[in-house]
Structure 1
Amino acid sequence: MLRAALSQVAAALRGAEDPWWVIGSAAVRLHGADTAVADVDVLVSARDAARMLAAWPGTVTIGAASARFRSHPFARAEGGAMPVEVMAELEVRADGAWRPVRPVSRVPIGGVFVPERAELAAILLSFGRPKDLARAALLG
């Protein structure tokens, strides 16, 4: 299912104008760690998110910011091999301030792009949730 979902994400972002990345559990798995993957988290620019979501063949639900995360938009796209969470201009709240999540590295793995292993671990650590801390530990 993950492979099919990644193919769908890659196809949906084929014409993207800006860099994009898969993060979260799917990226951890792509780096070779054994972790469960319930959905595919994608970081994109706002313009690429708008285009991707408008063309998505299934249901798209726009979500709201949380106390820890916000993006413009945050959307959950369903109807494919597995749910895809689309985050444009993602920010995480840390130390009382909103900080952008903007990977620098961009490694092609499995037909998509992910942050380099150490950078992905740092992103997950910045999220601070127990599940993200556990995934970061899997990356070494």
Structure 2
Amino acid sequence: MASARDSWWIIASAAAVLHGADIDVSDVDLLVSPRDGEALLAGLGDLGAPAPSDRFRSDLFGRWDGPPLPVDIMAGFHALGSAGWQPIWPATRIAIPLGDAILFVPDIPELIAHCRLFGRPKDLARAAILQRLGNEADMRPRTA
């Protein structure tokens, strides 16, 4: 993502783990702008289309199976909630170092909102775990 021109985020379960949640991760959901998504997918080659979903859709999608965990690359990502199709484009962006890389994720309250919007049982369980993490972080001593 070093060549990305716009903001990008890791969302969903991988983002929760980066915040400290102890949950399983089966893939990495990478949310990018359309222009970064097009450039990324062009560089990786034909990655195929997503399986149809009645809860999620993306204007641009590719699954990169090269890394140890598959990476779902999405631009124009939407989730179906009670108010209809809603775009997922985070307002917050937290930098988390991992080895020599910096990864970006939404903050915990925004991830909780995503999980609740996604609404599947695993997402609601994730929201509860993230809520506990957020509460624990609020109780940590602050340093100047």
Q: Would you say 1:62 and 2:53 are equivalent positions?
A: no
Q: CA separation in 2, counterparts of 1:54 and 1:132? A: 31
On the 8 A contact 1:21/1:115 being kept in 2, the answer is yes
Aligned to 1:103: 90
- Cα 1:47/1:65, change in 2 over 3 Å: farther
On the 8 A contact 1:61/1:77 being kept in 2, the answer is no
Find the partner of 2:118 among 117, 121, 127: 127
Aligned to 1:34: 22
SS at match of 1:71: strand
Sequence identity percentage = 47
SS at match of 2:59: coil
SS at match of 2:117: helix
Give, as a single letter, the amino acid of the residue that structure 2 aligns with 1:41: D
Give the alignment's Cα RMSD to 1 decimal: 1.5
Q: TM-score, normalised by structure 1?
A: 0.84
Q: CA separation in 2, counterparts of 1:115 and 1:65? A: 26
Instruction: State the structure with more CA Rg.
Output: 2
Q: Would you say 1:73 and 2:71 are equivalent positions?
A: no
Gaps of 5+ in 1: 1-12
Q: TM-score, normalised by structure 2?
A: 0.82
Which 4+ stretches in 1 moved above 6 angstroms?
A: none
SS at match of 1:26: helix
1:95 Cα offset (Å): 2.1
Gaps of 5+ in 2: 132-144
Q: How many residues align?
A: 127
Q: CA separation in 1, counterparts of 2:52 and 2:34? A: 15
After the TM superposition, which of the residue ranges 82-91 and 65-74 deviates more from structure 2? 65-74
Structure scoring higher RCO (CA < 8 A, sep ≥ 6) equals 1
Q: CA separation in 2, counterparts of 1:131 and 1:56? A: 30
1:61 Cα offset (Å): 2.1
Aligned to 1:82: 69
